[in-house]
Amino acid sequence: MLFSTAAFAVFMTVTFLAYWLLPHKYRWIFILMANAWFYISYDVRYLAVILVTMLASYICAILIEKQDVIKKKKIIMATGVVVTLSLLLVFKYLNFALYTVAKVLNRLSIPMQETTLRLIMPVGISFYTFMAVGYIVDVYKGKTQAVRHFGKYAIFVSFFPNISSGPIERAEHFIPQIDKEKTFDYDSVVYGARLLLLGLIKKIVIADMMTKYVDEVFNKVPQHQGICFAWATLLYTFQIYCDFSGYSDMAIGVARMLGFDLLTNFRQPYLSSSIKEFWGRWHISLSTWFRDYVYIPLGGNRCSKTRRDLNLLITFLCSGLWHGASRTFVLWGGIHGICQIIENRIKEATGLTREKEKALTRPVKMLLTLLTFCIVSYAWMFFRANSISEAFYIVRSMFTDLSISGAMEQMTMSGRSVVKTTLAIILLIIFDLFNERKDMLMQLSRLKAPLRWVIYIVSAIVVIALKVNNQFAQEFIYFKF
């Protein structure tokens, strides 16, 4: 059940009204039922997988808390993490592992038939698995208490706004909100509805519009050449941003309408002036998860510079692999890791401290922001490519033909399409620039009611019209991760 469908509009309307009409003591039961209904709307078979994840992490956390011996606590924690992660490894990476082993053995002249198991990857498994693993580790570290009420723990793992594509919640942030008695807050609900509308605009008006032209190039790579690859990569850079941040806006907005606060997941990432800053603004819940549960346990920066660099590289390679069982994702993660290592070394060599960085002149910051954007966009090309061989074909061919008209013809883009996509990018950048300084959705409250409602109605009409007429709408990109 996608956020951008009529089915979800009906589901959300019923859920919203019933939730606020019910007494507080029954709301957790209703939310749990809504979560289950939402999840099985994709495929009822997914329910068994998420139930195993819930039970394994729930039992493990309680056993950890009951145990007094540190060594036994660690064994229980490690067992729980392995069991919880094993489901993700099977559904997401087993076929990739079998394919890789077969390739390696065949190269060594050891015959082995390539085998592909018919596994259906459950929606959101990468996200709720990481939430469950983080919960187990946090209970072990004493950062949060084990939840004794299985139903309320199940709400944490399966909360419908963020189960499909995050944000990846933390137990200490979310679980206390379940028991907290909530009163209807008109301003909070309105702000949540604005976030929902903003997310729909990003997804339907911008991301889905760019899908046709991006897919035309990346799904038919051998049939294209020249600068059309650069233009398609640029469009994908904004497509994936609007698609994913649009989902996060909707998830946070829907949760806000029900009185829940989810973690912030995006903060104008393309305004970053370094790769490190980019990862402090892009998919924040994932980058902080990898920081806390991979980078820091590896030693973080509390070690030699060489070991720190290795820790960074391993963390980013794991991040790339998390996105998908493909060498393209690993390479994408590796590019970001290497760039951040180079950044750190340059800053150390030049003595560029955080204070000096803040004091840089505006032209220098703009130049660094442009450079960072180019690096991030270039890396997205590997992320979107269907294979390593196609990615390197794009690299070799990108600037062999600089004819703009030829590029537009290859992408089946009319002059009107170029104007529409360019205008969408410009308006998005302007919105992010203003949103960087002030919360633009909050600023809407300062407008007079008639003007506000004109904005709401026009935006809704545009979204509905494009949704009805758009033949190239797709699922959210991060659903497959």
Give the integer Cα–Cα distance in Å for 220 and 412.
12
Give the integer Cα–Cα distance in Å for 465 and 85.
42
Record the tokens describing residue 42, joined without a space: 């994709």
**Taking the CB of residue 205, how many other CB atoms lie within 10 A of it?**
22
CA torsion angle for 346, 331, 243, 192 (degrees, to 10)? Answer: -60
Backbone angles phi, psi at 118, to 5 degrees: -85, 80
Q: Is 123 left (phi over 0), alpha (psi -120 to 50) or beta?
A: beta
CA torsion angle for 469, 470, 475, 477 (degrees, to 10)? Answer: -150
216: three-class secondary structure by DSSP: helix
Record the tokens describing residue 141, joined without a space: 């570290």
Which ranges constitute the DSSP H helices of 207-303?
Answer: 208-218, 228-257, 275-279, 284-290, 296-298
Q: For residue 322, which amino acid is it?
A: W
Residue pLDDT tens, the chain, 481 long: 788 888 899 999 999 999 999 999 999 999 999 999 999 998 888 899 999 999 999 999 999 999 888 899 999 999 999 999 999 988 887 776 776 776 666 666 676 666 666 677 888 899 999 999 999 999 999 999 999 999 999 999 999 999 998 899 999 999 999 999 999 999 999 999 999 999 999 999 999 889 888 998 999 988 888 888 999 999 999 999 999 999 999 999 999 999 999 999 999 999 999 999 999 999 999 999 999 999 999 998 889 989 999 999 999 999 999 998 788 999 999 999 999 999 999 988 888 888 888 788 889 899 999 999 999 999 999 999 999 999 999 999 888 877 777 777 777 777 788 888 889 999 999 999 999 999 999 999 888 989 999 999 998 888 888 877 775 457 788 877 7
Q: In this structure, are residues 260 and 174 in contact, taking their beta carbons and an 8 Å threshold?
A: yes
Give the integer Cα–Cα distance in Å for 410 and 215.
12
In the chain, what's the furthest Cα-to-Cα distance? 75
**Taking the CB of residue 79, how many other CB atoms lie within 10 A of it?**
15
Give the integer Cα–Cα distance in Å for 6 and 463.
12
Sorted by sequence, the CB contacts under 8 Å of residue 128 that are 6+ apart come out as 50, 53, 157, 158, 163
Sorted by sequence, the CB contacts under 8 Å of residue 64 that are 6+ apart come out as 73, 76, 77, 80, 136, 139, 140, 146
Sorted by sequence, the CB contacts under 8 Å of residue 29 that are 6+ apart come out as 151
- Chain centre to alpha carbon of residue 353: 30
Identify the DSSP state of 264.
P
Sorted by sequence, the CB contacts under 8 Å of residue 265 that are 6+ apart come out as 166, 167, 245, 248, 252, 283, 284, 285
CA torsion angle for 233, 238, 240, 241 (degrees, to 10)? Answer: 140
The per-residue b/e assignment along 26-44, b for 16 or more CB within 10 angstroms, e otherwise, is ebbeebbebbbebbebbee
Q: What is the model's pLDDT at position 20?
A: 96
Give the integer Cα–Cα distance in Å for 171 and 178.
11
Give the integer Cα–Cα distance in Å for 139 and 156.
15
Q: What is the model's pLDDT at position 180?
A: 92
Query: Distances from the Cα of 437 to the Cαs of 268, 274, 425, 433, 442, in angstroms?
Result: 11, 19, 19, 7, 12
The CB-side HSE value for 362 (13 A sphere, CA atoms) comes to 0
Place of tokens 């997401």: 92
Q: In this structure, are residues 117 and 95 in contact, taking their beta carbons and an 8 Å threshold?
A: yes
Give the integer Cα–Cα distance in Å for 159 and 132.
13
The reply to whether omega before 111 is within 30° of 0 (cis) is no
Q: What is the model's pLDDT at position 113?
A: 67
Q: In this structure, are residues 127 and 164 in contact, taking their beta carbons and an 8 Å threshold?
A: yes
Q: In this structure, are residues 217 and 229 in contact, taking their beta carbons and an 8 Å threshold?
A: yes
Active site residues: 323
Closest CA to 335 of 307, 309, 321, 316: 316
Give the integer Cα–Cα distance in Å for 228 and 234.
10
DSSP 346-384: HHHHHT--HHHHHTS-HHHHHHHHHHHHHHHHHHHHHHH
119: three-class secondary structure by DSSP: coil
Q: What is the model's pLDDT at position 91?
A: 86
**Taking the CB of residue 246, how many other CB atoms lie within 10 A of it?**
25
